[in-house]
Amino acid sequence: MNALNKYHYDGTNYIYGTAGFRMKAELLLCVMYRVGLVAALRSVYYQGKCVGVMITASHNSEEDNGVKIVDPLGDMLEQEWENALTKIANTPDELLKQTIIDFVIEKKIGINQFTPSIAIGHDSRKSSILLSSAVKDGISIFKANIYDYGLLTTPQLITRDICGADYVKLHQQPPRGMLLKEGDRCASIDGDADRILYFYINKNQKFCLLDGDKIAVLLSGFLKDIVKDLHMENISVGLIQTAYANGNSTAYAKNILEIPVICTSTGVKYLHQKAKEYDIGVYFESNGHGTVLFSERLKKTIKTFELSSLSTFQQEKLNVLRNIIELTNETVGDALSDCLLVESILFLRGFSLEDWNNLYDDLPNRQCKVSNRNCITTTDAERVCRTPHGLQEAINAVVKNYTSGRSFVRPSGTENVVRVYAEAATEKEADELAKEVCELVKKFTEKI
């Protein structure tokens, strides 16, 4: 590992989070080398199957960059390997070799039996080429097959300012320059097409957003009805959301659809993990990331159905369920597959966008950010702030003054900011609550 001089670890604290490693590009060189090492080991662990490495910081600003490892079937890295990768990224140079050897032994990775294969790509940031060569140096320690795809389509161009799903969600308006007419049916996806939102303008010229929560409710309600029609009493249906889910979507799912709702931390991997606990696990973040997972038990059950014991109506439902499963991308949220799912269900229900939107009314909500996330820690799926001490109590005291008020603060996993979420019964109250909570965060974080 002579390359270590070039990729010297200087004591920075690196964490492989929901967005992989993501931070200022200038701090990432030594991490990239170590990602190369681990990606190669991951491939060997899978007997030489191809593992992906993508260098991108998605919609973060130009000075940031990041990296993610992708498993052979397109899945995210499993938790244990994320932890190992975090440990390896934070290992002083002189201990790196031994740490890698220990890991190889612990995981029984047959490094002499299989040749690793790695596909690597990067986005168009200035820093990406250098970082990509550092990953390749790491991989090369193992004499691997490297497929360098170079510059790939990048979500960097779709930022929170020029267009895209994030813009539509955060600003609650159509992409800039787009003229919406009554009757238009629109959807917006993000740069890497793993999230989708619908929107339209109603007859009063009001912009109406159908976000991940609306999609989740549409899908889970439809699937719950099919399960009921087919009398599959032992098949569980669950909805997984994050703290960002609109309070009225959660209430609708629980009280009207009678579906259990679980809240997890922000980040697809947490929702995905939890969704596996149901036969039909629907998971969506409000921002439009999500999909549905179907258990093997359910798939077996529908395979072994005695068709003659079903009415024509039930046979039709069974057919629909099979097609819905076929249509769903269970590996990862996929905007195009989600779009087809939504379109199919709207068609089968005979719903217009307005009918769908009218299932429940969103509580007005706001998202803002305040600088410096370092002293903020949370618990209870990010709904409760643990530190700085006293901040949660102060938020509770403020929230109490608002009708249907709810607010939480959490450190962002992708930028160095504290995110503030607020919802309340009216637009004005949501505005005021968000403002008050931002002030509280400033006050409590300035004290430190």
CA atoms of 368 and 409, how far apart (whole Å) = 10
- Asked if residues 347 and 339 have their Cβ atoms less than 8 Å apart, the reply is no
Q: Does 365 sit near ligand 16G (CB under 6 A)?
A: no
| Candidate residues 65, 156, 246, 414; the one interacting with ligand 16G per rule CB under 6 A | 414
Q: Does 18 sit near ligand 16G (CB under 6 A)?
A: yes
Q: Does 413 sit near ligand 16G (CB under 6 A)?
A: yes
Q: Does 19 sit near ligand 16G (CB under 6 A)?
A: yes
**Given 58, 127, 286, 337, which residue is catalytic?**
58
| Candidate residues 415, 423, 432, 436; the one interacting with ligand 16G per rule CB under 6 A | 415
Residue 111 backbone phi and psi in degrees, to 5: -65, -20
Cβ closer to ligand 16G: 334 or 429?
A: 334
> Of 307, 298, 293, 224, nearest to 258 (Cα)?
224
Q: Does 272 sit near ligand 16G (CB under 6 A)?
A: no
Tell me the β-bridge partners of 117. 50, 145
Distance of closest approach, residue 139 Cβ to ligand 16G, in angstroms = 23
CA atoms of 244 and 266, how far apart (whole Å) = 8
Q: Does 268 sit near ligand 16G (CB under 6 A)?
A: yes
Q: Does 166 sit near Zn ion (CB under 5 A)?
A: no
Annotated catalytic, 309?
Answer: no
Instruction: Tally the residues of the chain.
Output: 448
| Candidate residues 156, 287, 337, 357; the one interacting with ligand 16G per rule CB under 6 A | 287
Distance of closest approach, residue 283 Cβ to Zn ion, in angstroms = 15
Using CA atoms, how far residue 423 sits from 16, 243, 389, 435, in Å, is: 31, 11, 23, 11
> Of 248, 247, 283, nearest to 262 (Cα)?
283
Count residues contacting Zn ion (CB under 5 A)? 3
Q: Does 378 sit near ligand 16G (CB under 6 A)?
A: no
| All residues at 6 or more sequence positions from 29 whose CB lies less than 8 Å from its CB, including other chains | 6, 7, 130, 131, 134
Q: Does 192 sit near Zn ion (CB under 5 A)?
A: yes
Using CA atoms, how far residue 429 sits from 298, 395, 419, 433, in Å, is: 44, 15, 18, 6
- Asked if residues 329 and 337 have their Cβ atoms less than 8 Å apart, the reply is yes
Q: Given the rule CB under 6 A, which of 27-35, 124-132, 343-351, 411-419 is the region that contacts ligand 16G?
A: 411-419
Q: Does 194 sit near Zn ion (CB under 5 A)?
A: yes
| Candidate residues 220, 266, 337, 378; the one interacting with ligand 16G per rule CB under 6 A | 266
State the residues that interact with ligand 16G by CB under 6 A.
18-19, 266-269, 285, 287, 289, 412-415, 419
Which residues are identified as catalytic?
Answer: 58
